[in-house]
């Protein structure tokens, strides 16, 4: 997508062909700053500290983290150690494990001398594949937005609600939840997006609002608790969110608060769609509530909030009593029964084992738990 008039992906190689560059998402929306990653530890830090975030981009960054590690030491132990370091950065998004498994499968059979070059090539391919996947998700999701526009007799903009940031900043380009929105906008379908602020890190208010604004998409930031009210009053046509891990049953883990949106959507008969690329499906588990690990982050993300001060500087202020403990659960799981459909690169399917298998027939006959 464009920043100003300049097209950007969220991760790319610098001119020297070896340094990886990213957008530091902790500085948005106030500053657009790109950061070089030169080492494995740079890549691990970028994921851990959420300079990059969002399931597909975490996977892409991990792939490049392996390439950076292979440049320094391409031995078998170094490959294993690099994968272990990166795997330990964040627990919920399964794209991380998927990318590391993919990289290891590509590199392990090669002689050490060829691994660094092959790692860069495979990481680049993972990025290109993610762009193609997100574009396809956009095309399938566009049909849903178009149908909503036809259903309202083309009388008013389609009202979409989203939670967190499953936009181009969370992927390599396009986004998952936002790809259908961008395509609808580009196709001339009027769309308005209700953007949940997404406490505590405010990915909606900081990132989704910034990207939608950058692309000229009409949107309004709302507090997280406003969604139910808007749905009760018929002001939401459909929800589209992303997911960090989708169980083989169709249960979806996503940013904390997604479950409450799904409950309100079900109570009000509003379709609740989840957009996801294939690498977000964890075929090894059937029970998302029991088996998806939920990240717990630093309580400081709840007690303190960053922003721009009146003098223009970026600052962080404390918003809770100094003596009050806080807890920071980063994700929750929405059971498949509350999901109206999964928007994937292979089409839209029911959020169920059968639905997913109808699009991934090659997975049939493999018991959950076998990967």
Residue numbers at the binding site for ligand MRU (CB under 6 A): 53-56, 93, 164, 166, 170-171, 176, 203, 242-244, 254-255, 330
Query: Which residue number, 79 or 264, has a Cβ lying nearer to ligand MRU?
Result: 264
| Minimal distance, residue 136 CB to ligand MRU, in Å | 14
Candidate list 102, 173, 237, 244, residue with the active-site label = 244
Q: How far is the CB of 276 from ligand MRU (least distance, A)?
A: 7
Helix axes 55-72, 40-48, angle to 10 degrees: 160
Pairing of strands 245-247, 252-255: antiparallel
Closest residue to ligand MRU: CB criterion: 242
Rounded Cα distance between 104 and 99, Å, is: 9
Helix/strand/coil (H, E, C) string of 221-281?
EECHHHHHHHHHCCCCCEEEECCCEEECCCCEEEECCHHHHHHHHHHHCCCEEEECCHHHE
Q: Which is nearer to ligand MRU, 279 or 355 (CB)?
A: 279
Q: Whose Cβ is closer to ligand MRU: residue 116's or residue 164's?
A: 164
Residue 352: CA atoms inside 13 Å, Cβ hemisphere, count?
A: 6
Active site residue 244: yes
CB of 330 vs ligand MRU, minimal distance in Å:
6
Q: Taking the CB of residue 327, how many other CB atoms lie within 10 A of it?
A: 8
Our CB check for ligand MRU shows the closer of 163 and 185 to be 163
E strand or H helix at 349, and its extent?
strand 347-349
Query: What is the β-pairing status of strands 331-334 and 252-255?
Result: antiparallel
Q: How far is the CB of 340 from ligand MRU (least distance, A)?
A: 17
Distance, in Å, from the CA atom of 245 to the CA atom of 55, rounded to the nearest integer, reads 8
Tell me the catalytic residues.
244
């Amino acid at each position: 997508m464009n920043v100003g008039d300049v097209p950007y992906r969220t991760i790319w190689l610098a001119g020297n062909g070896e340094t990886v560059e990213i957008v530091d998402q902790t500085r948005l929306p106030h500053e657009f700053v790109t950061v070089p990653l030169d080492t494995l530890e740079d890549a691990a830090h970028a994921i851990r500290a959420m300079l990059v975030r969002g399931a597909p981009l975490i996977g892409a960054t991990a792939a490049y983290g392996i390439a950076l590690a292979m440049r320094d030491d391409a031995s078998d132990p170094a490959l294993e150690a690099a994968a272990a370091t990166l795997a330990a950065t964040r627990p919920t998004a399964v794209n991380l494990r998927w990318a590391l498994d993919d990289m290891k499968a590509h590199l392990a059979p090669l002689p050490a001398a060829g691994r660094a070059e092959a790692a860069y090539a495979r990481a680049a391919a993972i990025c290109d594949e993610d762009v193609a996947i997100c574009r396809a998700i956009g095309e399938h999701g566009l049909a849903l937005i178009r149908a909503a526009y036809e259903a309202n007799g083309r009388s008013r903009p389609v009202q979409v609600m989203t939670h967190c940031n499953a936009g181009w900043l969370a992927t390599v380009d396009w986004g998952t939840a936002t790809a259908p929105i961008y395509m609808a906008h580009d196709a001339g379908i009027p769309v308005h997006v209700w953007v949940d602020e997404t406490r505590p890190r405010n990915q909606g208010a900081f990132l989704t609002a910034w990207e939608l604004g950058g692309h000229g998409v009409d949107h309004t930031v709302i507090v997280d608790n406003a969604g139910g009210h808007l749905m009760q009053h018929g002001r939401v046509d459909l929800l589209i969110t992303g997911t960090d891990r989708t169980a083989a049953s169709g249960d979806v883990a996503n940013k904390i608060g997604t479950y409450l949106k799904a409950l309100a959507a079900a109570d009000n008969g509003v379709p609740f769609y989840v957009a996801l690329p294939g690498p977000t499906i964890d075929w090894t588990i059937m029970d998302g509530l029991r088996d998806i690990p939920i990240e717990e982050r630093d309580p400081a993300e709840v007690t303190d909030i960053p922003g721009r001060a009146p003098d223009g500087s970026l600052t962080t202020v404390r918003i809770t009593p100094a003596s009050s403990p806080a807890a920071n659960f980063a994700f929750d799981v929405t059971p498949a029964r509350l999901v109206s459909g999964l928007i994937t690169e292979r089409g839209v399917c029911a959020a169920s084992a059968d639905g997913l298998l109808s699009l991934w027939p090659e997975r049939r006959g493999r018991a959950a738990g076998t990967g």
